[in-house]
Amino acid sequence: MRGGGLWQLGQSFTRRLTQADKKAVARRCFASEADLKKTVLYDFHVANGGKMVPFAGWSMPIQYKDSIMDSTVNCRENGSLFDVSHMCGLSLKGKECIPFLEKLVVADVAGLAPGTGTLTVFTNEKGGAIDDSVITKVTNEHIYLVVNAGCRDKDLAHIEEHMKAFKSKGGDVSWHIHDERSLLALQGPLAAPVLQHLMKEDLSKIYFSDFRMLDINGVPCFLTRTGYTGEDGFEISVPSEHAVDLAKAILEKSEGKVRLTGLGARDSLRLEAGLCLYGNDMEQHITPVEAGLTWAIGKRRRAEGGFLGAEVILKQIEEGPSIRRVGLFSAGPPARSHSEIQDEKGQNIGEVTSGGFSPCLKKNIAMGYVKSGLHKAGTKVKIVVRGKPYDGSVTKMPFVPTKYYKP
């Protein structure tokens, strides 16, 4: 789901990035460090040993003093605190903000109860994914959503273009981009007990995908019980002037068990959870059906359509797509993005989109797209790494069981 350009960094997430790696990434992405935006936590990251790298136009920590392997395991055993302030939060308001948004996404937004949310996909006219996003119905006249850092410019331009057309016909919708706020993600089994120390509301009554506006550490925040790791956890939108204090309070209350965690472990965690990274596992030419996200297309939306690319997507639901996203285990070196997938006879059947060594499973995992009919768990395949085919097999995802807090 959430990443944008992480493919430029995540290919080496099982080891510390060497200086050569960092220089290569910097050359590919940006002319100089001075061009990069910084979150309000930048100095805090550096002071805590964060190794900063370019990512989607921002200088972000790839890791801290511990290894990416250790950091990944600690998230699942204890907890992690991520700075995800590079991502773009925005609010849509107005009496017709829901009908407006439903023209652009596949979710049944109207069917959401106030204070709940869902993963959805912004689609184009061909049914391809412009971006994925977690959206929340705050009220019937207020939608809060977060879009990926690497997709911010195109997403905002897309929304604005359609909003102008909608408003020109008398539609009641407006928006606010929350650049005055920062975003922290607290993930792992200690997320709820630690956060409970900083707030009055009972977190045991707030479930996965629920949203609340409430005080945390004495500051008005937006709280969503969600994340990008497969663990229980929260994303906290906090006024930027209070972000560092909140991060310090969370770490202090955890007594050292929740650690600051960078984008390297974030990538390995989301891969273990079988979650898409936009730019790798989802792109403009991949539909939600092909990506295995048919469940995100509401029942009413399947019946009525009314979103961009609906004709293509609804036909795929009825007839089946020609390719499908799958999980993969493999021998040999870890598969990487663009590694070829072959059948047992050596014929090309698809391509890996994300892959690496799983710190928690201690084995190679990957996801990619294969031809329909060859997508079933247990199907034997060959995965080509550096010109040599290695044995692999299709498997169900997630690779590591999810632990979302549900009623």
Binding residues: 235
Closest by CA to 390, choosing from 318, 320, 340, 349, is 340
> Do 103 and 285 touch, CB atoms closer than 8 A?
no
SS (HEC) of 327-368:
EEEECCCCCCCCCEEECCCCCEEEEEEEEEEECCCCEEEEEE
How many degrees, rounded to 5, is the angle at CA 180 between CA 174 and CA 186? 105
Beta bridge partners of 89: 146
Beta bridge partners of 330: 364, 392
| Known binding-site positions for substrate | 235
Give the SS3 label for residue 298: coil
Residues 35, 10: Cα–Cα separation, whole Å = 21
Using CA of residue 274, residue 65, residue 18, residue 44, what is the dihedral sign?
Answer: positive
> Do 71 and 63 touch, CB atoms closer than 8 A?
yes
Closest by CA to 400, choosing from 351, 345, 363, 352, is 363
Structure tokens at 67: 């290894």
H or E stretch covering 300: helix 299-304
Beta strands 233-239 and 181-187: pairing type?
A: antiparallel
**Distance from chain centroid for Cα 184:** 13
Residues 120, 145: Cα–Cα separation, whole Å = 10
Closest by CA to 30, choosing from 51, 55, 13, 62, is 55
> Do 331 and 390 touch, CB atoms closer than 8 A?
yes
Residues 297, 257: Cα–Cα separation, whole Å = 38
Q: 263-272 and 68-77 are packed helices; what angle lies between their axes, rounded to 10 degrees?
A: 60
Residue found by looking up tokens 């200086």 in the block: 19
